Amino acid sequence: MKMPKDFIFGAASASYQVEGAWNEDGKGVSNWDVFSKIPGKTFGGTNGDVAIDHYHRYKEDIALMAEMGLESYRFSIAWTRIHPDGTSKVNQKGIEFYNNVIDECLKYGIIPFVTLYHWDLPQTLEEAGGWRNPKTVDAFVTFAETCFKAFGDRVRNWITFNETVIFCSLGYLTGAHPPGIEGDVKSYFQATHHVFVAHARAVELFKQAKYEGEIGITHVFNPAFSIDESKENKFAERHANEYSTHWYYDPILKGEYPEYVTKELEAKGLLPDMSEEDLDLLRRTAPMNDFIGLNYYCPQRVMKNDSDLVLAGGRENSTGKPGNPSFDGVYKTVMMDDKEYTKWGWEIAPDAFLEGMRMLKDRYGDIKMYITENGLGDEDPIVGEEIQDQPRIDYIESHLRAVKHAVEEGINVSGYFAWSVIDLLSWLNGYKKQYGFIYVDHNNNLARKRKQSFYWYQEIIATRAEEL
């Protein structure tokens, strides 16, 4: 089978991880511009000041994407280029930059797939309380509206937020992302609620103004599976899915929070402040979502955990080594002897990917899904002139095969975006952890080179994955 004609083969990036030019052309300071410069926060002290200089080299990069046959480029907009200080004041140079990127994509027939928020918040808003402060919701809606007005004549695909669970849990539980707070469970849940409200308001605004195209949100997709069939571990599986999947997907797609979680939070005094108006907004906008974006890298293998800790852990750290297990008082994630792992300890499990998509279909019906990220973080050897990344090819091939199965089974998956189109800055692991089809030579003026996987993906797209 070839993938359907309207299935999109794409690849992705995010503003802070590629653009650089952190203080050029009127751009304001973001929370990441500040946080990454705090000693010890990132591997080797790396930051996005220059990143891979996509800001100045977007033409060369998009030409390479076109050569690869990419059908869509998912990128994010740096809020601080558009509204440098987080207010409604617009920086025209910022608008101009994204107009250029969008037009360059369209010149080659590449669909610009735009993420509004991929974690780089104006520092002014961070200092005023960030996502704990409901005013950040208002500021986001202003930012979204500016983008819809400026780019909505050409952009037809909008993602409001990337991975709420990551920037909220790493921001308020582990302290690994800005604002760098540890163990503040109340703020964690409050921040997630504000993000869902901000998403819902942007969706409603988009629909009411009758912009053409579609809008949705991208979540981490990290389905939990028990390590065995025992009752207690099966319970841990359910608990993990309630907290890491249903808490995020239900308010968007069902318009209400999962009762299992709200009851527990209420009992512990951790339920976010939410007004009737907020809840009504979530209910009313749920059916307006055109799609859900899934970022899938690995599943969670879980078992029962007896501990007083409420929530902790997370897959990322900045040591350049495998991450910590996630856990709360009920479950913990574990590594298993019979599973395969990446160098960073993320399980390679295409079967769990397919199983997870089935779980989503069971719970949320036929909502359109895009795989908005999937890929392998690795250190690619250079042999002679060639950048050899066969493990990446194997990883993406097996996961694309899972997507193909899903489509054959009637699961509504409409596109696949590899992470990442080009080697870029890993938030916490610098340039050591590579994901791209295109290599960036940090010892040679950031020169771009095609990897093995570049030619492989080119062939996959040209044949619409028929051979998979």
Which residues are part of the catalytic machinery?
163, 373
Site for ligand BG6 in 213-272 (CB under 6 A): none
Structure token digits, residue 92: 């025209």
The residue range among 92-100, 151-159, 387-395, 419-427 that interacts with ligand BG6, by the rule CB under 6 A, is 419-427
Residue from the set 3, 11, 62, 166 that interacts with ligand BG6 by CB under 6 A: 166
433 binds ligand BG6 (CB under 6 A): yes
Q: At a CB cut-off of 8 Å and minimum separation 6, what does 445 contact?
A: none
Exposure of 206 in the CB half-sphere (CA atoms within 13 A): 31
The 10 Å Cβ neighbour count of residue 94 is: 23
Rounded distance, CA 67 to CA 226, Å? 43
Rounded distance, CA 244 to CA 295, Å? 13
Output the CA torsion 110→116→118→119 (10° steps).
Answer: 160
Q: Whole-number minimum distance, CB 218 to ligand BG6, in Å?
A: 8
162 binds ligand BG6 (CB under 6 A): yes
Structure token digits, residue 111: 């669909």
426 binds ligand BG6 (CB under 6 A): yes
Q: Are 329 and 305 in contact (CB under 8 A)?
A: yes
Output the CA torsion 257→259→263→266 (10° steps).
Answer: 10
316 binds ligand BG6 (CB under 6 A): yes
428 binds ligand BG6 (CB under 6 A): yes
Nearer to ligand BG6, 167 or 257 (CB): 167
Site size for ligand BG6 (CB under 6 A)? 15
Nearer to ligand BG6, 278 or 373 (CB): 373
Residue nearest to ligand BG6 (CB): 426
What are the phi and psi torsion angles at 170 (to 5°)?
A: -75, -25
Residue from the set 19, 104, 163, 380 that interacts with ligand BG6 by CB under 6 A: 163
278 binds ligand BG6 (CB under 6 A): no
Residue from the set 251, 293, 325, 377 that interacts with ligand BG6 by CB under 6 A: 377
Kindly provide the b/e burial profile for residues 142-174, where b requires at least 16 CB atoms within 10 angstroms of the residue's own CB.
Answer: bbbbbbbebbbebbbbbbbbbbbbbbbbbbbbb
Q: Whole-number minimum distance, CB 264 to ligand BG6, in Å?
A: 26
Residue from the set 33, 278, 328, 373 that interacts with ligand BG6 by CB under 6 A: 373
Rounded distance, CA 286 to CA 302, Å? 30
Mask 322-341, x = binds ligand BG6 (CB under 6 A)? --------------------
Rounded distance, CA 434 to CA 437, Å? 9
Residue from the set 427, 437, 439, 457 that interacts with ligand BG6 by CB under 6 A: 427
Q: Whole-number minimum distance, CB 432 to ligand BG6, in Å?
A: 10
Strand 386-387 with 382-383, pairing: antiparallel
Q: Which SS3 state, helix, strand or coil, does residue 429 take?
A: coil
Site for ligand BG6 in 187-216 (CB under 6 A): none
Nearer to ligand BG6, 166 or 357 (CB): 166
14 binds ligand BG6 (CB under 6 A): yes
The residue range among 83-91, 149-157, 159-167, 196-204 that interacts with ligand BG6, by the rule CB under 6 A, is 159-167
The residues that touch ligand BG6, with contacts defined as CB under 6 A, are: 14, 17, 162-163, 166, 295, 316, 373, 377, 419, 426-429, 433
